[in-house]
Structure 1
Amino acid sequence: MAAPRTAFAPGRFYGAPTIERRLPGVRLAHLAATMSAEHVDEHSHDDAHFVLATRGRYETTAWGPETEGPVLVYNPPGVVHRDRFVETGGYFLAVSFAAGDWRALADGGAAIDALRLTGPVARRAALRLTRSLLSADAEPLSLEGLSLELAAEALAPPRDGDRRPPWLDLAETYLADAFDQPIGVADLARAAGVHPVHLARGYRRWLGAAPGERLRARRLERAADLLMRGRLPIGEIALAAGFCDQSHLNRQFRHAYGVTPGEFARLCSPRPTRRPDVSGVQDEAPVTP
Structure 2
Amino acid sequence: MDSESLVIPHDAYTLPLCASSANMKILSKGQYYGLKDLEKSLDGIVLSQYNYNTGRPTDWHYHENPYFWYILNGNMMDCNKKVKTLCPPGSLMFTNWQEIHYGSKHSGDAAGFHLEFERSWLKNNDVNLALFEGSALIQQPKVHFLFAKLYYEFLQNDAYSKITIELLLLQICDALSDSKNASRTQKVPDWVELLKELIHYDKFDLSLKHLSEQLGVHPAHISRAVPKYLSVSLGEYIRQHKLKEALPLILDRKNTLTNIAHQAGFSDQSHFNRVFNSVFDMNPNTYRKIVTKNY
Asked whether the two chains share a fold, i.e. TM above 0.5, the reply is: yes
Query: Which residue of structure 1 lines up, in the alignment, with residue 192 of structure 2?
Result: 168
> What is the alpha-carbon distance in structure 1 between the residues aligned to residue 202 and residue 220 of structure 2?
21
Distance 1:129 1:50 in 2: 12
From the superposition, tell whether residues 68 and 178 of structure 1 become closer, same or farther in structure 2 (CA, over 3 Å).
farther
Aligned to 1:231: 254
Match of 1:31 among 50, 62, 68: 50
Q: Does structure 1 residue 119 correspond to structure 2 residue 144?
A: no
Shift of 1:257: 4.7
Separation in 1, partners of 2:39, 2:45: 11
Does the CA contact (< 8 Å) of 1:170 and 1:191 recur in 2? no
Is 147-156 or 88-97 further displaced after alignment?
A: 147-156
Could you tell me which residue of structure 1 aligns to residue 268 of structure 2?
A: 245
Deviation for aligned residue 1:61: 7.0
Query: Which position in structure 2 is the counterpart of 1:3?
Result: 19
- Which residue is equivalent to 1:203? 226
Deviation for aligned residue 1:125: 2.1
Q: CA deviation at 1:41?
A: 4.2
SS for the counterpart of 1:110 is helix
2:213 corresponding residue in structure 1 = 190
Residue in structure 2 matched with residue 76 of structure 1 by the alignment: 96
Tell me by how many angstroms 1:70 deviates: 1.6
Q: Distance in 1 between matches of 2:264 and 2:240?
A: 11
Runs of 5+ in structure 2 lacking a partner? 1-16
Q: Which amino acid aligns with 1:153?
A: A
Higher relative contact order (CA 8 A, sep 6+): 1
Aligned with 2:97: secondary structure?
coil
C-alpha separation between the residues in 1 aligned to 2:103 and 2:223? 35
Amino acid aligned to 1:133: F
Check whether the contact 1:8–1:44 (CA below 8 A) recurs between aligned residues.
yes
Question: Do the aligned partners of 2:122 and 2:129 also contact (CA within 8 Å) in 1?
Answer: no
What secondary structure does 2:169 align onto?
helix
Shift of 1:252: 1.0
CA contact (8 A) 1:43 1:82 kept: yes
Aligned mates of 1:134, 1:96 — CA distance in 2: 16
Inter-CA distance 92–102: structure 2 relative to 1 (3 Å threshold) = same
Cα distance in 1 for residues equivalent to 2:114 and 2:264? 28
**Which residue in the other structure is 2:75 paired with?**
57
Looking at structure 1, the residues matched to 35 and 214 of structure 2 have their Cα atoms a distance apart, in angstroms, of: 45
Decide which moves more: 231-240 or 54-63: 54-63
Contact kept, 8 Å, 2:95 with 2:135, in 1: the verdict is: yes
Query: Residues 18 and 60 of structure 2 are in contact (CA less than 8 Å); yes or no, is this contact kept in structure 1?
Result: no
Instruction: Identify which of 90, 102, 117 aligns with 1:97.
Output: 117
Unaligned 5+ segments in structure 1 are: 273-289
Report if the CA contact (8 A) 2:68-2:93 is conserved.
yes
C-alpha contact 2:66 2:132 (8 A) present in aligned 1: no
TM superposition shift of 1:47? 0.4
Distance apart, 1:109 and its partner CA: 4.6
**In structure 2, distance between residues paired with 1:2 and 1:76:** 18
Supply the distance in 2 between the matched residues of 1:49 and 1:144 (Cα, whole angstroms).
16
Q: Distance in 2 between matches of 1:164 and 1:61?
A: 29
Identity of aligned residues (%): 20
Change over 3 Å in CA distance of 1:219–1:168 after alignment to 2? same
Identify if the C-alpha distance between structure 1 residues 225 and 100 changes in structure 2 by more than 3 Å, giving closer, same or farther.
closer
Instruction: Please identify, of 12-21 and 159-168, the stretch whose mean Cα deviation from structure 2 is larger.
Output: 159-168
Cα deviations by residue, 1:155-186 (Å, 9 ceiling, x for unpaired): 452455546433222222222333223x3223
Q: Secondary structure at the match of 1:39?
A: coil
Q: Secondary structure at the match of 2:131?
A: coil
Aligned pair 1:214/2:248, yes or no? no
Q: Over the residues paired in the alignment, what is the CA RMSD in angstroms?
A: 3.2
Q: What amino acid does structure 1 have at the position aligned with 2:67?
A: H
| Aligned residues between the structures | 269
Residue 7 of structure 1, CA deviation = 2.2
